[in-house]
Amino acid sequence: MYRSGLAVWIVVLAAAGCGRSNKAQPQQFADDLMAQKPTEEEVRQRVQSRVTPRTVTLVSSLMEVPGLYFAKAQSPVDPAAVACYVAFRAEQATTSDDPGQVVIELVVIGRDSGRFNAKDRGKIWEYPNIGAEYLARQFFGNDWLAQHPWPKVATGK
């Protein structure tokens, strides 16, 4: 009797422990995803989605984002965020662009924290972009810009 009662308690405790670990797995997965940096392809797709009538070219490798950027943008530090210089070339004449005109921006791509919609947590998120070198200096700092200079041409050289 004693052994069978003990066996029942062990089974109940084991089942209770398994139930707790299963509930923790989705949160652990979300936390792991939040630490994964976007790939170059994810950066390209995210930027391309906002400028469909233009050609998008990454003109730098993915770089770290200094904490100063998040302080200036008044948002929490995103450990998965990456920065990248991107060149846009207008394919057709529009009211604001000439065909063939190239514009270079510094974009910051990271992960959605889910603060506005919990279902979006972990999805690729684009922070406010920087379209001028002097803004990059203000938001990223002199040291960062000295290490990662603003590209002078669309090829990044």
Amino acid (1-letter code) at residue 93: A
Section 6-21 average pLDDT: 47
Residue 156 backbone class (left: φ over 0; alpha: ψ -120 to 50; beta: rest): left
Which pair of tokens denotes residue 65?
């984002």
How far apart CA 47 and CA 89 sit, in angstroms, is: 13
Neighbours of 53 (CB within 10 A): 10
Amino acid (1-letter code) at residue 155: T
CA 15 to chain centre: 38
- What is the predicted pLDDT for the residue at 142? 94
- What pTM did the predictor assign? 0.70
- What is the predicted pLDDT for the residue at 157? 47
